[in-house]
Amino acid sequence: MKLAMEKLLAAGLLSASVISAPVMAMNIVLTNDDSWDTQNIQILKAALVTAGHHVIMSAPCTGQSGKGGAMTFLKPVSVDETKAAQQEFCVGDTDTRVAFEDYAEGTPVMAVLYGIDVAAQTIWGKAPDLVISGPNEGNNLGFMNNNSGTLGATMIALSRGIPAIAVSAHENTAHDAAQSELVANAVVEVVATLESSRPAGGPLLPAYTGLNINTPEDMSNHLGYKLTDVGWNSGGIELKFSDDLSSDAVLMGYMVQKLMAGGMDQVTAQATAQAAMQDKQGLSFGMGDAGDANANSEGNAVKAGYITISTIDGNVQAARAKVSLTEQRLLGLN
């Protein structure tokens, strides 16, 4: 089934020109883990609407990167409906004066479920045809997908039987509108290709199956679409715990970039980041490929300049060959 879907995508994407309008307008719930007030999600919403789709945005009120499948249990959660006329909603408390035991963050999983269970039912009277999570401000690749709020929202939608697509872009889309618009156009093209290649009477995607799309740094000169495997390579990034965050070149570079995107000059941004992280402990980033040099792993392909599309599902079952080898070693258990 995966191979058949990849053939359909390949036929539509790898050799076709950009599709400017969908075959059929769809009801789409759009979410992400960077909050509803980001350039990426706003530009993608506009692009989908322009293409003829009906879009509900339901995202966390605050940034929730790295939250994976996190949820807030046994607490009521605030929902901001002040932009309901634009079909935009955000989930989660924003008043930090609220006591810790009462404060309820709106995670990506919670936000997309609000979109599916409440907003879509109120506006359309039914579940959405598709969930799109992203575009994230930064790629989600390889093993790092396990930590991603972008993927967490995608997986919970798949568990409800709703086709879902995770989209993650380079960090530059946080402040480069031109790159963000190119990413949005690519997503619209993928959606149109899926719809135009849908078997008669068939689903948009096979049951419990989604896509993980990642776009490269320079969307103006990308190498085209590449159908990839998730693999292990996270694009050259690995997690580590540091006792001095200011010594982490990757983390500091990211912080400086964010500060400069907010209008700070480079010298001030570097000094500010250094002061904030000097002698502080915490989770940081290192360089590594998890030993995965396969050119078809999405982490390697996106670094090479491709728009990668990996087929995903919520099944963490190991491949049968690995299962057999492991089971043979456990036969002595009773």
Contact criterion met (CB below 8 Å) for 85 and 59: no
Mean pLDDT of 233-250: 88
pLDDT over 90 (residue 52): yes
pLDDT for the residue 68:
76
Tell me the percentage of the chain whose pLDDT exceeds 90: 60
Q: What is the pLDDT of residue 16?
A: 47
Give the range with max mean pLDDT: 14-23, 43-52, 236-245, 324-333.
43-52
Say what the pLDDT of residue 176 is.
93
Domain extents in the chain: 2-235+290-314, 237-287
pLDDT at 56: 98
CB atoms within 10 A of CB 262: 10
Share in percent of the chain as helix, strand, coil (round to 5)? 40, 20, 40
| Cα dist from 317 to 154, 313, 321, 322, whole Å | 18, 10, 11, 10
What would the mean pLDDT of 20-44 be, rounded to a whole number? 86
Q: How many helices (H) and strands (E) does the chain have?
A: 10, 11
User: Which tokens is 154 given?
Assistant: 């995608």
What would the mean pLDDT of 86-99 be, rounded to a whole number? 92
Q: Greater confidence, 131 or 251?
A: 131
Stretch 190-219: mean pLDDT: 92
Average pLDDT over residues 195-202: 87
**What is the model's pLDDT at position 154?**
96
CA angle 28, 169, 174 (to 5 degrees): 95
pLDDT at 144 over 50: yes
More confident call, 329 vs 54: 54
- E strands along the chain, which residues? 27-31, 54-60, 79-80, 88-91, 130-137, 164-169, 209-214, 225-228, 237-242, 282-287, 307-313
Query: What pLDDT is recorded for position 22?
Result: 44
What pLDDT is stored for residue 249 in this prediction? Answer: 85
Q: Residue 330 — pLDDT band, cuts 50, 70, 90?
A: confident
Question: For 2-235+290-314, which CATH class?
Answer: alpha beta
Our measurement of the distance from residue 100's CA atom to the centroid of its chain's CA atoms, rounded to an integer in Å, reads: 28
Would you state the pLDDT for residue 334?
Answer: 53
Which of 24-33, 69-78, 143-152, 178-187 shows the lowest per-residue confidence on average (mean pLDDT)? 69-78
Whether the per-residue pLDDT at 11 is higher than 70: the answer is: no
Compute the mean pLDDT over every residue in the chain, rounded to the nearest whole number.
Answer: 88
pLDDT of residue 49: 97
Nearest to 192 by CA among 208, 201, 204: 204
Q: Which residue has the higher pLDDT, 274 or 12?
A: 274
pLDDT value, residue 17 = 44
Q: Could you list the active site residues?
A: 168
Mean pLDDT of all residues in 180-189: 97
Please tell me whether residue 69 adopts helix, strand or coil conformation.
Answer: coil
Predicted pLDDT of residue 21: 45
Which residues neighbour 151 within 8 Å (Cβ) at sequence distance 6 or greater? 68, 133, 140, 145, 166, 212, 312
